[in-house]
Amino acid sequence: MTPFLSPEILSVTFAALMAAALLAYVVLDGYDLGVGLLLHMTEEEAERDRMVASIGPFWDANETWLVLAVGLMLVAFPMAHGMVLTALYLPVALMLVGLVLRGVAFEFRAKGAGPRDKRLWDLAFAGCSVLAAATQGWMLGRYVLGFAPGWGAQAFATLAAVGVACAYAFIGACWLIWRTEGALQRRAVAWARGLLWGVALGILAVSVATPLASARIMERWFEMPNLLLLAPLPLATFGLVWGLAALLRHMPLPGDALRRLPFCGAVGLFCLSFAGLAWSFFPYIVPERLTIWQAASAPESLTIILVGALFVLPVILAYTVLAWRIFGGKAMDLRYD
């Protein structure tokens, strides 16, 4: 197919599509994994069932966004796909084992024989949610510092792992505030209150470390007029954390008012953090080594994908909205009939 966009614009378009898919994944599977992380915070089996039921109809589709993000990197920036994934070989493998066992534990816990099997699969579900969340955070930490060697970089990656796990647990708790009621909802509010501070610390750590690690990023943020133009980003983040803290102090509200708001706030925090990272690294796809223009596939191949994506993505969004409407409201027990 003849390209109708210039190669430069095509590369940027695909970088934007990939970033959007990755953000969708982090938000959507973030709450799934978060619910898994929180599973053993309650001892009551009925509450655990309800927590798992709340993500039941969604997790398959949520995980598909990861396949789309990685797939877009694979097809649009094959050189970057090879470089990033071979550099992160071991954490990727561990994350995959985590995602594999987390996904199947979901099925097996419901179809297992007795309570002992169920407890085992619950442990696998929670443990593997931790594994997947932590390895994703660790990879973020390695990526942010450009895969730098040394103990300092490893320590930072560990901090990022904890930060991302906190962020997932936080959005998971906010999801539960929206989707559950009664005692479980009250517990979720308490979890969210504590986790919010972990999230704030994680965002702060990454925001301080990235400019210190790279002069280019430092310049990008702190030069005039960028400093003023970008000021809304950290200010909005600060305001959002403050607002969420105030809101969570009073939840649950009478009549279950504003039950969606914490989740929306969490999504907002994810978006702001993501925007900050995107600004720091654009146009690099492998930090300081490879730009999106150097890594891109041939324009004719990108064009044929883009045409397909323009037709199909709206359809995907439409039926995703349909599924969310069908399974809206408070979580109920999962039944096949």
Binding letters toward other proteins, positions 269-308, x by CB under 8 A: ----------------------------xx-xx--xx--x
Of 35, 66, 144, 174, the residue at the interface with other proteins (CB under 8 A) is 66
Of 48, 81, 187, 259, the residue at the interface with other proteins (CB under 8 A) is 81
Kindly state the smallest distance separating residue 74's Cβ from other proteins, in Å: 6
Residue 243, interface with other proteins (CB under 8 A)? no
Residue 313, interface with other proteins (CB under 8 A)? yes
Of 5, 12, 41, 74, the residue at the interface with other proteins (CB under 8 A) is 74
Kindly state the smallest distance separating residue 257's Cβ from other proteins, in Å: 25
Of 61, 218, 236, 271, the residue at the interface with other proteins (CB under 8 A) is 61
Binding letters toward other proteins, positions 84-113, x by CB under 8 A: xxx--xx-xx--xx-xxxxxx-xxx--xxx
Site size toward other proteins, by CB under 8 A: 64
Residue 190, interface with other proteins (CB under 8 A)? no
Residue 60, interface with other proteins (CB under 8 A)? yes
Separation of alpha carbons 179 and 329, rounded Å? 6
Question: Of 27 and 68, which has the nearer Cβ to other proteins?
Answer: 68
Of 23, 35, 38, 68, the residue at the interface with other proteins (CB under 8 A) is 68
- Please, which of residues 203-232 interact with other proteins by CB under 8 A? none
3-state secondary structure the chain: CCCCCCHHHHHHHHHHHHHHHHHHHHHHHHHHHHHHHHHHHCCCHHHHHHHHHHHCCCHHHHHHHHHHHHHHHHHHCHHHHHHHHHHCHHHHHHHHHHHHHHHHHHHHHHHCCCHHHHHHHHHHHHHHHHHHHHHHHHHHHHHHCCCCCCHHHHHHHHHHHHHHHHHHHHHHHHHHHHHCCHHHHHHHHHHHHHHHHHHHHHHHHHHHHHHHHCHHHHHHHHCCCHHHHHCHHHHHHHHHHHHHHHHHHHCCCHHHCCCCHHHHHHHHHHHHHHHHHHHHHCCEEECCCEEHHHHCCCHHHHHHHHHHHHHHHHHHHHHHHHHHHHCCCCCCCCCCC
Kindly state the smallest distance separating residue 148's Cβ from other proteins, in Å: 18
Residue 327, interface with other proteins (CB under 8 A)? yes
Question: Of 41 and 104, which has the nearer Cβ to other proteins?
Answer: 104
Residue 198, interface with other proteins (CB under 8 A)? no
Separation of alpha carbons 129 and 145, rounded Å? 25
Residue 58, interface with other proteins (CB under 8 A)? yes
Question: Of 75 and 245, which has the nearer Cβ to other proteins?
Answer: 75
